[in-house]
Structure 1
Amino acid sequence: MGRKRRTFTDKFKAKVAIEAIQGVKTLSELASEHGVHPNQISDWKKQLLAKAPDLFSSGKSRPGKTEEELTAPLYEEIGRLKMDIKWLEKKL
């Protein structure tokens, strides 16, 4: 029977990654202090650095819908309404 896989909280990962970025201690020192493998700390550090710019984005840089994507459903609705009007005119 193997060892149970450990899970770490996001808060713990962030704390360790920030310590690694600060560079006060080496990865080996941090690993022995926190009881994780140095490669794991390195991965957490890379993830933090990759996602850090997204934390401060205001959402303006997100690609919006094109004009065609916005108007297509409206034209479909207009077509349905025109068909309804024609059907009602025939019934009268």
Structure 2
Amino acid sequence: MKKRIQYPKELKARVALEALKETKTIAELSSEYEIHSNMISKWKKQLHDNIANIFTRKNEQEPDAKQQLDNLYKQIGRQQVEIDWLKKKLGL
């Protein structure tokens, strides 16, 4: 069985950018870089779909794991307070 090739992200970016520019055809890029044309098309689509994310500000990005964990703890705390209040009102 043939092992999958893992291309460096710099190569992927360069090839995808060239494909997006359309100065060369996908077939020409495929033969130049010795990468299958389907892979180049996939990278081109990924670049096209995600290019707007390059310009997002740091505070607009998704929160990191620690921030998400803190938010979940806050939500659990609020729900616990609500549950205790409901138990008190219902006389449990």
Deviation string 1:16-68 (CA, Å, 9 cap, x unpaired) is: 000101111100000010011111000000111111101102256569xxxxx
Unmatched runs of 5 consecutive residues or more in structure 1: 64-68, 80-92
Q: Which has the larger radius of gyration?
A: 1
Partner of 1:90: none
More helix by share: 2
TM-score normalised per structure 2:
0.62
Coordinate RMSD, CA, aligned:
2.7
Identity, % of aligned pairs?
A: 35
Unaligned runs of 5+ in 2: 63-70, 82-92
Partner AA of 1:28 in structure 2: A
Cα distance in 1, alignment partners of residues 5 and 60 from structure 2: 37
